[in-house]
Amino acid sequence: MPKLYEITGKLAELHNIDADNDETLQQAIADTLEAVEGEFKDKAAQIARLLQNLEADRSAIKSEVDRLNRREKSIERKEESISEYLRNHMELTRIKTVSTPLHTISCVAGREVAHIEDEAALPQDYVAVDVTIKPNKQAITQDLKAGKDIPGARLELGKSYIRIK
């Protein structure tokens, strides 16, 4: 089967033939157009099946990624729990270091860190401000469609897209 771009080229050529005065040529072009459009539809259906397969693959991969992320979190929590378990017992027994041929385990005293009791009471010098400014495209689109003039924005037609049902 020919490639989509080849079929599209044939259709474009057929649409550009000037057969205004020749009924026989017009009929031949119409018949050829019908056949080539049939090829186009068959190729489009193949591409639709390919897109559906890719979507299913993407969905399966996303599902697997979600499963692996949950597994990673579970292992991380287990790691933290076992580390906390060992730390607690090393502190209770006052054992600071355990040396084995494969590992040296140390229970190290914690470092001093700031504990924030009331963020609102902190002076500005100790507060980092994180501001994100982004346009509200939905509201802008609605207002532009309603005829409102908004400096720095205009309506334009988005790209066409493929919908497969």
pLDDT at 78: 97
Q: What is the pLDDT of residues 129-162, one digit of tens each?
A: 889 999 999 999 999 999 999 999 999 988 877 6
pLDDT at 77 over 80: yes
pLDDT at 163 over 80: no
Domain edges within the chain: 4-77
The residue-averaged pLDDT of 113-142 equals 91
Cβ-Cβ contacts under 8 Å for 119 (sequence gap 6 or more): 127
Distances in Å between the Cα of 7 and the Cα atoms of 18, 30, 32, 65 are 19, 15, 12, 39
The residue-averaged pLDDT of 117-132 equals 90
Q: What is the DSSP string of the chain?
A: ---HHHHHHHHHHHHH---TT-HHHHHHHHHHHHHHHHHHHHHHHHHHHHHHHHHHHHHHHHHHHHHHHHHHHHHHHHHHHHHHHHHHHHHHHT--EEE-SS-EEE-PPPPP----S-GGGS-GGG----------HHHHHHHHHTT---TT----PPPP-----
pLDDT at 165 over 80: no
- 58 pLDDT band (50/70/90 cuts)? very high
